């Protein structure tokens, strides 16, 4: 199988052992699942299905970021406890994933479950000389890592711009370097707080995933991913601190999914330009929603349009009319997925077979669409 690796900027062989260790960055549970979320997780689900079809077992961990600024802000706005809000939205997300026929993940640990692991992880990083205390916080010192930036391959100016745009607080006066990032910091009065050797507070965003990945999957994992907006600072920071703590390679293969737009801008909660999966499910067959996602290549940005659902409902009907086996088609579809998960190419083959009155049953199932 050939798969694009973000760190190498190339399509390269993906040759894991029999068991594939995979970590995907999950939701911050403060609102419903939008199509951008779903596209990311369905891309990794499609990869899991293909790997299983090839004879692998897959241990996929998908975290829940229930200790984070947006969740606390929404809980304040609603006047509810942040964990109650997280539990409700996590349950809604899981219902959407089940409806879209996503395979169950091996675990979906919450960041709040990992505070002891995070404290221990920070201690490892500090003991190895990669972090410092200042102003009541603990920061990772990027100057101690020669390879910082090697995964994202961004310039210092680009990294600063992304950090500033994505919550990096580059103007924090306690930092030695604007790109240094928080491992632990004081909590606001209405935020959760835990005691540590460095004072009470809560973890930074990046350390949560590193600690959970180490706890759930071990030192080195085969594939790590998320949306392209996580490349920097989140995943670059994860890589730096994980390898600083353990002295070993953190991730063998980095996989990122393209962003989805609406009205010319990235679909995001902060902008409010969202299409929610649970609302689509009120009107459309969930299988057609999945088709509307998977018809796009996972690395190609695309824009929501009003024809997406009618087009894929019609496709579902056409495929459903040919719900019989076709081993030759399945072989060809497998070959397309071996080529960097070329789902658009697979769709072309299946569409043509259905139009010719040939069976598409197993090929649709490989893409997560149950025609029966």
171-180 pLDDT tens trace: 999 999 999 9
Share of the chain above pLDDT 90, in %: 94
Query: What are 45-77's pLDDT values in tens digits?
Result: 999 999 999 999 999 999 999 999 999 999 999
Q: What is the mean pLDDT of residues 247-256?
A: 98
Q: How far apart are CA 63 and CA 75, in angstroms?
A: 20
Q: How far apart are CA 326 and CA 189, in angstroms?
A: 62
What does the pLDDT read at residue 208?
97
pLDDT band (50, 70, 90) for residue 168: confident
Burial of 32: CB neighbours in 10 Å, binned 0-12, 13-18, 19+: middle
Q: Check whether 343 has a pLDDT greater than 90.
A: yes
Q: What is the mean pLDDT of residues 207-221?
A: 98
C-beta atoms surrounding 356 within 10 Å? 8
Q: Check whether 133 has a pLDDT greater than 90.
A: yes
What does the pLDDT read at residue 215?
98
Share of the chain above pLDDT 70, in %: 99
pLDDT band (50, 70, 90) for residue 166: confident
Q: Check whether 167 has a pLDDT greater than 90.
A: no
pLDDT band (50, 70, 90) for residue 159: very high
Q: Cα dist. 100→33, 96, 209, 299, 331 in Å?
A: 12, 6, 25, 20, 24
What does the pLDDT read at residue 86?
96
pTM: 0.95
Q: What is the mean pLDDT of residues 283-296?
A: 98
Q: Check whether 162 has a pLDDT greater than 90.
A: yes
Q: What is the mean pLDDT of residues 71-92?
A: 96
DSSP assignment of 302-344, as one string?
EE--TTHHHHHHHHHHHHHTT-S--HHHHHHHHHHHHBT--HH
110: which DSSP letter?
B
Q: Check whether 32 has a pLDDT greater than 90.
A: no
Q: How far apart are CA 322 and CA 318, in angstroms?
A: 7
pLDDT band (50, 70, 90) for residue 8: very high
């Amino acid at each position: 199988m050939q798969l694009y690796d973000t760190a190498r900027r190339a399509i390269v062989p993906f040759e894991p052992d029999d068991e594939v260790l995979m970590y995907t960055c999950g939701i911050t549970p403060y609102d419903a699942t939008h199509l951008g979320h779903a596209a990311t997780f369905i891309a990794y689900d499609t990869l899991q299905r293909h790997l299983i079809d090839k004879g692998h077992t897959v241990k996929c961990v998908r975290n829940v970021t229930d200790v984070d600024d947006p969740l606390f802000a929404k809980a304040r706005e609603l006047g509810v406890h942040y964990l109650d809000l997280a539990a409700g939205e996590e349950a809604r997300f899981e219902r959407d994933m089940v409806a879209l026929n996503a395979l169950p993940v091996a675990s979906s640990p919450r960041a709040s479950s990992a505070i002891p692991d995070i404290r221990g992880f920070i201690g490892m990083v500090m003991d190895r000389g990669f972090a410092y205390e200042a102003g009541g916080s603990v920061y990772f010192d990027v100057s101690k890592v020669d390879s910082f930036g090697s995964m994202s391959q961004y310039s210092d100016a680009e990294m600063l711009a992304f950090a500033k745009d994505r919550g990096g607080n580059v103007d924090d006066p306690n930092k030695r370097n604007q790109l240094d990032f928080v491992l632990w910091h004081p909590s606001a009065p209405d935020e959760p707080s835990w005691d540590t050797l460095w004072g009470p507070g809560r973890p930074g965003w990046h350390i949560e995933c590193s600690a959970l990945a180490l706890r759930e999957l071990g030192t080195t994992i085969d594939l790590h991913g998320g949306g392209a907006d996580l490349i920097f600072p989140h995943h670059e920071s994860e890589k730096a601190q994980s390898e600083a703590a353990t002295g070993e390679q953190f991730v063998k293969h980095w996989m990122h999914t393209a962003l989805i737009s609406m009205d010319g801008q990235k679909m995001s909660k902060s902008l409010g330009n969202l299409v929610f999966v649970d609302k689509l499910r009120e009107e459309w067959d969930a299988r057609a929603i999945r088709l509307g996602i998977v018809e796009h290549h996972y690395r190609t940005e695309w824009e929501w349009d009003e024809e997406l659902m009618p087009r894929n409902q019609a496709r579902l009907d056409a495929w459903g009319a040919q719900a019989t086996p076709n081993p030759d088609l399945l072989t060809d579809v497998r070959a397309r997925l071996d080529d960097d998960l070329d789902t658009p190419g697979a769709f072309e083959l299946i569409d043509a077979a259905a139009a010719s009155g040939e069976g598409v049953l197993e090929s649709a199932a490989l893409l997560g669409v149950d025609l029966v």
